[in-house]
Amino acid sequence: SPLSSLMYAFCFTIPYGLILALGGLIGFFSKGSHMSLMAGVGCGAAMMALGTLSIEKFKKKESYAVFNFLSLLIAATVTGMMGKRYLDTKTIFPAAVTFLLSLAMASYLAYRLVFPHVPEKKAQD
């Protein structure tokens, strides 16, 4: 559809990564959680890096499906971790919010793997 053709995965992976990284920093500074710092900043930085690499491939009109797949693995892992945390703690924030955000991100990335953007080849002069 025309709308879905405008939405590239990197439009979401970079902001999602930023949210994860900020969440990790907030968890560290508010509760002293080293796990939040490592997991949030680590996963967030990886998502932002994968989004940036996707943009570079997109600009070259090359496939970036491998970066979408790696992003999906990260988002699915965060979904699982935060889903378990919600079941254990029953806290809405950050567990349920991060679970739902990550589930949405993983779902979109899975959709983009099934229905990828096929880069148009450069015209030959």
What pTM did the predictor assign? 0.90
**Quick one: pLDDT band at residue 71, thresholds 50, 70, 90?**
very high
Both tokens of 80, joined, read 């699982």
Half-sphere exposure of 7 (CA within 13 A, CB side): 12
C-beta separation of 48 from 106 below 8 A? no
Task: Give residue 36's identity as a one-letter amino acid code.
Answer: S
Report the C-alpha gap between 119 and 41 in whole angstroms.
Answer: 31
User: What b/e sequence results for 8-45 when a residue is b if at least 16 CB atoms lie within 10 Å of its CB, and e otherwise?
Assistant: bbbebbbebbebbbebbeebbeeeeeeebbebbbebbe
Helix 97-114 with 65-89: angle, nearest 10 deg: 150
On the question of pLDDT at 122 being above 90, the answer is no
pLDDT per position as a tens digit, 7-55: 899 999 999 999 999 999 999 999 999 999 999 999 999 999 999 999 9
Continuous segment of H or E residues that includes residue 33: none
pLDDT per position as a tens digit, 45-67: 999 999 999 999 999 999 999 99
Q: What pLDDT sits at residue 125?
A: 44
